[in-house]
Structure 1
Amino acid sequence: MQHIVVIGGGIVGLATAAELADRGNQVTVLEKESHWAAHQTGHNSNVVHAGLYYKPGSLKARMSVAGNASIIDFARENGVPFEVCGKLVVATAEEELPRLMALAERAEANGVPAKLISAAEAREYEPEVACVAALRVESTGIIDFPAVCSALIRKLEAHGADLRLNSPALAIRRALAGGGVEVATPQGVVRAEALVNCAGLHSDRVAKLAGLTPAATIVPFRGEYFELRPDRRDLVRGLIYPVPDPTLPFLGVHLTRMLDGSVHAGPNAVLALRREGYRWRDVSPSDLVDVARFPGTWKLARKFARTGLEEVLRSFSRKRFAASLARLVPAVQEADLVKAEAGVRAQAMLRDGSLVDDFLIESAPRQVHVLNAPSPAATGSLEIAKHVADLAVAHLD
């Protein structure tokens, strides 16, 4: 039995720890916050993605398609609330039809069950939707990801794992004897045979603590949400997404009915002013200096200057936000929107300003670092865990 320390108590870290424990390893999980799933896992839209958007053969494609099944099986086995409700991806204008067709071809390449339907057929699913055609994806669902984390914690407790909250990694070094690693925390030093870094928004910093020079830097983007007023929730029955623009890095605002019947609208995407900046007033001078010093930030800003400005304007204008949603559901009005909790996406960026499109995992002797795991990482978390556990065991040698 090997002792492996996992840094990060979000869904990827907990799933990886549970997978390692299932394989007979002793596991310690370090989480800097006072509760589990405190950041990306606890602030996302709780969608179980089907896997249709991602490049065929990529880690995202393979792990989201497989994860779509495995996370639902896990939910059934562990009493986690979920619903496989399907979704519509809608083309709202004729010029979007080629992109919709391309998306249908990508879904087929990835093995995702999806079918092109007419506007009339789309309205059978969503009577208020406006479109010229749509792609119906049956395997998309909604789930309670924090509840998944609670179930993973129960599994880890049953294995006797050492679960430590309020335990940030302050320093990391190779052990002086035995070839393992040592992680300094406020409560003392944790010694283990191997280290797995699933620190999300701080994954690049943890990698640097461990002596690596990571290929990418984390740049935080805040996704802001509204909800539909309770008396307007009947405008949306399930999930309604726009056709994504492949030249832009994010999917665009969409409408998602949640397990409790509420309807989330969003998110937009603006640069967060700190790694955990859920509001405009959440500012970290040191985080801003890191972003400003990174050359990729300015290259990305130049490339998407107009799009970035539109996102910022929409952040401050409920009217603009409502107008974006009205492209999908014309009945949505400004007065229908109520401010909801935001999330922050840990997006890995390269020095040339390009956003890392796939999951990014780097290894070193006795170390594995998950450096880019944004959406659909929660969907694919159990599959990512298997992959990372394989790498961790391999790098024990």
Structure 2
Amino acid sequence: MRLIRYLHTARSDFSHAVIGGGIVGTAIAAEFQKDGHNVLLIEKNPHLGMETTSRNSEVVHSGIYYPKHTLKSKLCIEGRNLIYNALDTGKFNSVQVAVQKCGKLVVAQDEQEAEYLHKLHKYVKEELDVKTEFLSHRQLKSRYPHISGVLALNSPTTGIISAHDYLLYHQTQLENHEGTTAFNTTVTDIEYNRGTSNYTVTCSTEDDEAFEFTADVVINSAGLHAQKVSNLLLPPERHYTPYFAKGTYFSYSPVKSLGKFTDTLIYPCPNHNIAALGTHLTFDIGGQIKFGPDLEWLDVNDANEIDYTPSHANLEAAYVAVRRYFPHLQSGELSPSYSGVRPKIASAEETKKGFVDFLIKQEEGYPGFVNLLGIESPGLTSAWAIAKYVKQLL
């Protein structure tokens, strides 16, 4: 950890403490530091972005799935626009952030799913002003003969981004404006000082050395650990319960090469509860195809207990899911590659009952303490917009 270099105010060591150095926390810290604040970013791992940020599809989502006026809808669309604007205006040139606006197809396999796509297209056009367009069965077969479907909805503003590069961009912004980062540091207690209206944060290092500091504002962006951090401060009756949903990604090694059979991402029609968007076909900046993630709810209540081993038991289900839209997939061509875990604020049963939004709020009775809970997909796309939203809250 770098040492505290100066005091921001007479009452606090830092103006802002951001807990969690994933893409969201790093973007928040950078935004406040650029505004002239004295920010400390706290990360429990030896490097930034080692958990949820490094274990996702790296998709720049267009924002077509989420109900209007929700945070997921608003912040996804704003975040997407910020990414593409930074690309177009050269802001990403300093760290060479790799972005590709490749688009995606949502593919229907029957008339019921086709009806869903028609409703989605109408909703997106009338309520969100996000561009989508149809590909008929004939057009789909002509352009992508290896993809099966009765109808496809094209989302041209979907893309892919290097999560590592994007994180590095915000990290560079934080460091260039002299922000401070504490690595290998775990928050163990938070206390609100009502007399001075600031917070005392107690931490431990990897060597089990304890230290504390004060901050005017504490922002909890701890991802998988966010509920645990929140519960350090809030009274028991206001504690949050964490839930975790694991998704395994599968690498693709064709027995016989089909060549470059797609230049766009391929998604099935999502489940109605949108707990996940289905086992989809995506690729990284280098063009390597992968399928996933699937959805597996975990029976753990502490993120430190998560087993990230890819789930071989889900392999057959992955074949079934993928063959619906990619029937050329042969046995033996998929293998579990890696997994990621979505931080959830609702259980599997609760999620089935309806849409679950991001939870981003300044906690009542604790001025300057902001909770960010359930920041799952589209968290990567939304990160920059989330940072600006938190600034507005404060």
- Give your verdict on TM over 0.5: yes
Report the counterpart of residue 279 of structure 1 in structure 2. 308
Report the counterpart of residue 170 of structure 1 in structure 2. 188
- Provide the rounded CA distance (Å) in 2 between the counterparts of 1:125 and 1:168: 51
Report the counterpart of residue 226 of structure 2 in structure 1. 203
Aligned-pair CA distance for 1:100: 1.1
Native 8 Å contact 1:33 1:165 kept in 2: yes
AA in 2 matched with 1:221: A
Q: Tell me, yes or no, if structure 1 residue 267 matches structure 2 residue 293.
A: yes
User: Secondary structure at the residue paired with 1:236?
Assistant: coil
- Provide the rounded CA distance (Å) in 2 between the counterparts of 1:331 and 1:362: 47
Report the counterpart of residue 344 of structure 1 in structure 2. 341
- Provide the rounded CA distance (Å) in 1 between the counterparts of 2:108 and 2:60: 22
Native 8 Å contact 2:29 2:39 kept in 1: yes
Report the counterpart of residue 99 of structure 1 in structure 2. 116
- Provide the rounded CA distance (Å) in 2 between the counterparts of 1:19 and 1:357: 27
Q: Deviations over 1:285-330 (max 9, x none)?
A: xxxxxxxxxxxxxxxxxxxxxxxxxxx8xx5153331121010111
Aligned-pair CA distance for 1:333: 1.7
Native 8 Å contact 2:231 2:239 kept in 1: no
Native 8 Å contact 2:202 2:211 kept in 1: yes
Aligned-pair CA distance for 1:89: 0.3
Aligned-pair CA distance for 1:234: 3.0
User: Secondary structure at the residue paired with 2:185?
Assistant: coil
Report the counterpart of residue 150 of structure 1 in structure 2. 168
Aligned-pair CA distance for 1:177: 5.2
The 5 A counterparts of 1:349-388 are: 349=346, 353-354=350-351, 357-364=356-363, 365-388=367-390
Q: Tell me, yes or no, if structure 1 residue 89 matches structure 2 residue 106.
A: yes
Alignment counterpart, residue 218 of structure 1, candidates 217, 236, 242: 242
Report the counterpart of residue 8 of structure 1 in structure 2. 20
Alignment counterpart, residue 32 of structure 2, candidates 16, 20, 23: 20
Query: Cα gap change, 1:92/1:250 in structure 2, threshold over 3 Å: closer, same or farther?
Result: same
State TM-score, norm by structure 2.
Answer: 0.86
AA in 2 matched with 1:101: H
User: Secondary structure at the residue paired with 1:90?
Assistant: strand
- Provide the rounded CA distance (Å) in 1 between the counterparts of 2:156 and 2:56: 21
AA in 2 matched with 1:77: K
Aligned-pair CA distance for 1:111: 1.6
Native 8 Å contact 1:31 1:166 kept in 2: yes
- Provide the rounded CA distance (Å) in 2 between the counterparts of 1:352 and 1:320: 21
Query: Cα gap change, 1:278/1:138 in structure 2, threshold over 3 Å: closer, same or farther?
Result: farther
Query: Cα gap change, 1:327/1:201 in structure 2, threshold over 3 Å: closer, same or farther?
Result: same
Report the counterpart of residue 207 of structure 2 in structure 1. none
Native 8 Å contact 2:275 2:351 kept in 1: no
Aligned-pair CA distance for 1:214: 4.8
Query: Cα gap change, 1:165/1:332 in structure 2, threshold over 3 Å: closer, same or farther?
Result: same
Alignment counterpart, residue 320 of structure 2, candidates 319, 323, 326: 323
- Provide the rounded CA distance (Å) in 1 between the counterparts of 2:86 and 2:156: 19
State TM-score, norm by structure 1.
Answer: 0.85
Aligned-pair CA distance for 1:180: 0.6
- Provide the rounded CA distance (Å) in 1 between the counterparts of 2:239 and 2:185: 26
Report the counterpart of residue 290 of structure 1 in structure 2. none
Q: Deviations over 1:8-57 (max 9, x none)?
A: 00011011111111221110000111111111111000000000000011
Query: Cα gap change, 1:27/1:233 in structure 2, threshold over 3 Å: closer, same or farther?
Result: farther
- Provide the rounded CA distance (Å) in 2 between the counterparts of 1:280 and 1:23: 41
Alignment counterpart, residue 77 of structure 1, candidates 83, 86, 91: 91
User: Could you list the runs of 5+ residues in structure 1 that have no partner in the other structure?
Assistant: 282-311
Query: Cα gap change, 1:261/1:278 in structure 2, threshold over 3 Å: closer, same or farther?
Result: farther
Native 8 Å contact 1:52 1:107 kept in 2: yes
Higher share in helix: 1
Q: Deviations over 1:368-391 (max 9, x none)?
A: 010121100110111111111222
RMSD: 2.2
Q: Deviations over 1:202-253 (max 9, x none)?
A: 1111111122555752211110010111645734332000111214522111
Report the counterpart of residue 292 of structure 1 in structure 2. none
User: Secondary structure at the residue paired with 2:68?
Assistant: coil
Q: Tell me, yes or no, if structure 1 residue 256 matches structure 2 residue 282.
A: yes
